[in-house]
């Protein structure tokens, strides 16, 4: 399979490169400054030259708080650029895989969100990613994959905790009233390629099994690091971040399990794999 991957230098892009190599797929990675996904002409030219079977869009404006004051810029990357990719996919006959987020939900539900549940983003980031979903669905062949709380090679929550611990922090203040699904980029990459094999279309939720608060996630990270640092719970209000976050954006993975004959492993096991891989 020939894979045209945007945002290839990010956590998921790097994981996809490794997963593709293991399978013998052709990986064609594109990122700034070589390719600006907001440049329609450049996108069409690159895809036309590559002749891929699938375009996997990992490029995104992911600075959640910055998006509150830079929504137009975030929309250009998370929304408008996806329309360019959708057009290029149709031109070449490729399937477009758009990576989306749990932030398209408001987090007010008392159960895990299914693919067909109503969306109601509370932040600029969520709104722009939802615009990207709409643009992707305009492609004749498309797959929108919502994921959450990604950690992989690069800057992420696990590494933020590790840096504090290695820096000698005796305690860490971590939000305890937001609940979601920590997800290992390596596992997500493998799931994406398997979904492509099945010919899946529409929307699929893909996260590691289980759920946690950021506080619980941090406790598990600290435990695995063997650190005596104390993790202290705080509220979202105490964290005082510009962008509102969904309080409980747990994603239901029933469709993923049905398509693949099973889901991704528990996030705790995936975290252990992450640490082994990083060593």
125 is catalytic: yes
Contacts (Cβ under 8 Å, ≥6 apart) of 186? 15, 18, 19, 152, 270, 273, 274, 277
Bridge partners (DSSP) listed for residue 151: 184
**What is the β-pairing status of strands 230-234 and 54-57?**
unpaired
Other beta carbons less than 10 A from residue 208's beta carbon: 26
For residue 112, what are its two tokens?
């895990």
- Give residue for tokens 């069409």: 44
Under 8 Å between Cβ of 169 and 113: no
Alpha-carbon span 208 to 149, nearest angstrom = 10
Structure tokens at 262: 């099973």
Question: Sign (positive/negative) of CA torsion 248, 254, 255, 260?
Answer: positive
Is residue 88 within 8 A of residue 265, CB to CB? The reply is no
Q: Which of 103, 113, 125, 184 is catalytic?
A: 125
Known catalytic residues are 125
């Amino acid at each position: 399979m020939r894979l045209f991957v945007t945002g290839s230098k990010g956590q998921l892009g790097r994981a996809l490169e490794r997963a593709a190599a293991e399978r013998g797929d052709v990986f064609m990675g594109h990122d700034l400054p070589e390719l600006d996904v907001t440049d329609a002409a450049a996108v069409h030219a690159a895809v036309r030259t590559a002749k891929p079977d699938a375009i996997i869009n990992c490029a995104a404006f992911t600075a959640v708080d910055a998006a509150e004051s830079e929504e137009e810029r975030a929309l250009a990357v998370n929304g408008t650029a996806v329309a360019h990719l959708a057009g290029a996919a149709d031109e070449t006959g490729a399937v477009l895989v758009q990576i989306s987020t749990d932030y398209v939900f408001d987090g007010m539900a008392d159960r895990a969100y299914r693919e067909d549940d109503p969306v109601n983003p509370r932040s600029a980031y969520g709104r722009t990613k939802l615009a990207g979903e709409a643009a992707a669905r305009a492609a004749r062949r498309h797959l929108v994959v919502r994921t959450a709380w990604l950690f992989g090679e690069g800057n992420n929550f696990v590494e933020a905790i590790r840096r504090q611990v290695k820096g000698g922090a005796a305690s860490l203040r971590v939000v305890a009233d937001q609940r979601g699904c920590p997800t290992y980029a390596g596992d997500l990459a493998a799931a994406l390629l398997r979904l492509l094999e099945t010919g899946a279309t529409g929307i699929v939720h893909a996260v590691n099994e289980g759920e946690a608060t950021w506080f619980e996630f941090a406790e598990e990270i600290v435990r695995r690091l063997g650190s005596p640092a104390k993790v202290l719970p705080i509220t979202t209000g105490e964290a005082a971040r510009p962008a509102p976050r969904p309080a409980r954006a747990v994603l239901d993975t029933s469709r993923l399990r049905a398509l693949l004959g099973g889901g991704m492993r528990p996030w705790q096991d995936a975290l252990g794999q992450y640490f082994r891989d990083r060593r």
